[in-house]
Amino acid sequence: MPPLRFSYRNRHIWRLRRRPCQEISLQSSSSTKSIFSSYLPLLFYPIHKAHRYDMFLSFSFVIYIVTFLQNRIMISKTRMISEVEMNYLNMMKNRNSCRDFSDQPIDEEVLQRLLEASVCAPSSGGFQNYSIIKVTDSEKKQTLAKLCRKQGFIGKAPVNLVFCVDLHRERRIAQSCSVLPNIQYDYESFIMFVMDAAIAAQTLCMAAEAEGLGSVLIGNIVTNQKQVAELLNLPKQVLPVIMVSLGHRKNKGTVSGKYSPSIMVHEETYQERDITELQAAWKEKYADWSIKPNEKLMSRIGEITKEYFGEDYAAEGARFIREKDWVDPFSFWYGYYYPNHEGLMTPEDHIKFLEEQEMTGYKKK
């Protein structure tokens, strides 16, 4: 094979030999342009002079260019995936519940995408033992608001989605095929059915956030399950367990305080945290909580605290609230808001309703 001599015609080959591939910077677009402008003539050189050695170098360079482009594409895809993951994590961290909706309706195509994402959520056994009731009727929304502890924003939300445990659909399908439906479910199954509905609801909330919509999970849908079931014409073995109010935000909202993983996560076994550490984390979490005491609050909180923990404990709690001039979250939610059962179902009512709906499998061992 004759030696390769430098000349005007083979100067690009000489440059390639002087600058091996590993020495060429591939990180910037300018480098890429330099590579193409310098070596592209090699692709046509064999046509001009069909020399075996020249052809070998030219085709080697073609392979190099193809490999280089493949690597660049893979790097770009990896970078893109990484950015998507980071954006999703930031979205999860910055999401906040929306209770102030605008009058702007939700586009039907957007809503359909949210529902498609929701039903793709994982479920126990893949059975998807839940159904979603979409409520947009103004009168029904107002009724739902009253049944859910009179939360007015529910009536103003463009869409309310009621997630229900649904064994009725499975039974119909099984019986139509003369196969055995899940009629002997136990407590474990009952809890998993509720979790499946909740997971689907949370999945929808995150999809809504990605679409730029606001959402809030409503657990109070269970406070008047029987009336909700009547309102939505639910058959037996269908039980409302959670609701999502959905719409466009009027304002951005603020992210509520959260405990850090150092408080929430335990290694291998449950670990008792130092009480000073817990108190510090609690104060940090509720640093923006600003409910002031008044006679109505203090009277109700005092009654509930005395009923459950005795007079001395109630007196100490009242002293703490007045001294701090601050109704703490525990006292507000557990001493005032949730114990108010006026017009709501009692625990006995719930048990009776479960029996009426033929949802008594939780009693089985």
> Using one digit for the tens of pLDDT, what is the confidence trace for 95-120?
999 999 999 999 999 999 999 999 99
How much is the average pLDDT of 16-21?
41
**pLDDT on residue 23:** 36
Together in a domain, 63 and 124: no
Report how far residue 287's alpha carbon sits from residue 321's, in angstroms, rounded to the nearest whole number. Answer: 15
66 by Cβ neighbours in 10 Å (0-12 / 13-18 / 19+) ranks as: exposed
Together in a domain, 327 and 298: yes
Q: What percent of the chain has pLDDT over 90?
A: 56
Nearest residue to 99 via CA among 148, 32, 166, 133:
148
| Residue 134: strand pairing partners | 161
pLDDT band, residue 204 (cuts 50/70/90): very high
How much is the average pLDDT of 184-209?
90
**pLDDT on residue 143:** 97
Domain that holds residue 215: 108-255
Together in a domain, 329 and 294: yes
Return the H-helix or E-strand segment holding 150: none
Distance of CA 22 to the CA centre of its chain: 45
Together in a domain, 117 and 86: no
How much is the average pLDDT of 128-141?
97
The structural domain count of the chain equals 3
Together in a domain, 137 and 248: yes
Together in a domain, 251 and 299: no
Together in a domain, 114 and 39: no
Has residue 262 been placed in a domain? no
Has residue 282 been placed in a domain? no
Q: Decide: helix, strand or coil at residue 14.
A: helix
Together in a domain, 249 and 345: no
